[in-house]
Amino acid sequence: MIIKKLSLYNFKNHSEKKFEFSPQINCFVGNNGVGKTNILDALHYLSVGKSFLGNTDLNNIKKDQDFFTINAEIQNDESEDIIKISQQKETKKIIKKNDKNYDRIADHIGYLPSVMISPYDSNLISDSGESRRKFLDSMISQTDAEYLFDLIQYQKIIQQRNALLKYFHKNRVWDKDSLEIYDEPIIKFGTKIFEKRQRFVGKLNPIVQNFYHIISGGKENVSVQYQSDLTPRFDTHHPYKALKEILIETLERDRMLTYTSKGIHKDDLLFEMNDILIKKNGSQGQQKSFLISLKLAQMSLVKELTQKTPILLLDDIFDKLDDLRVSQLIELVNQENFGQIFITDTHRERTENVVKKINDESIIFEL
């Protein structure tokens, strides 16, 4: 998949910007604050329909304007497609492919897979399990449309169950039968999500280990482990039965807490180095090497599972990494044939030197 052209209108700080891209490497250079990262965010929108910075769609409309649009011409194996994303202040976001609206925005996910490497990745190590769970869900969703559907259904059901628990508490009533209506769909969708997460992480872990071994020279052992309330029961119970048991066991606790306290919505990823959480014993450099390994593994696995080469978005990483890690990253990108790459940087000369090591076919846009 190649993004040939991109047009932005009223997107963040850009009133109007148009680009024609190289199929290999595209660099955006300029001072801080000119909107380099915003362009990568627009490309991220093309992939997953939302901002990687976590901004709401309305907050991405340029100040004092009523809408934004992102238009792109994309070359796939068989044809060229036009993708248009538009957001107006008073209406829902619309994503169109060749002038045809998607019935559900979720149906667009997976069309143009992408991987972002940015300074914000450090949050995956330092933040709560929610950020790692979202990262895992995002990876799997780009490879499996049914997974995203199951996840959306599961989240809706948990919200409804929690709302009922709060209603019972507020009104000092209790109706166990009404609450148990949610058990079957929670178990149905939760079981499928659990099994897919477990398989995906099982494939991801050895790839992360391999990339980290290359980057670090094999000095430490790292791993990505999937942690779930269902895991301790998995050896002796089918996940369906395990989740059913959990709902029964936690019923009184959920009643007191007024929310569903256990289930796959509490899952987490454990990032470990030498069998200890990397946030506890990993240096800053080791954590950066791990995160690069994780993202490259994501790219490799998405490519394997979808038969599509994801676009690679590198945001300001050369300011955050030492020269050795930059060289290792560039070498790995070269070896893995990762496809179209988009880079932001503040120094043109540094960018040119890096780009020459990867591929001669590149374009540098000065902002």
- Write out the binding residues for ATP: 30-37
Report the DSSP pairing between strands 362-366 and 25-29.
parallel
For β-strands 94-97 and 80-88, DSSP reports them as: antiparallel
Cα 296 from Cα 135, distance rounded (Å): 14
Q: Are 70 and 77 in contact (CB under 8 A)?
A: no
Cross-sheet strand order for the sheet of 80-88: 14-20, 2-11, 67-75, 80-88, 94-97, 100-101
Closest to 224 measured CA to CA, from 194, 202, 196: 202
Type of residue numbered 341: I
- CA separation for the pair 224, 209 (Å, rounded): 9
**Token pair of 229, please?**
């309330």
> Rounded to an integer, what distance in angstroms lies between the CA atom of residue 1 and that of residue 23?
9
Q: Give the three-state DSSP class for 182.
A: coil
Contact of 257 with 161, CB cutoff 8 Å = no
Total length of the chain? 367
What does the alpha-carbon distance between residue 113 and residue 124 come to, in Å, rounded to a whole number?
A: 20
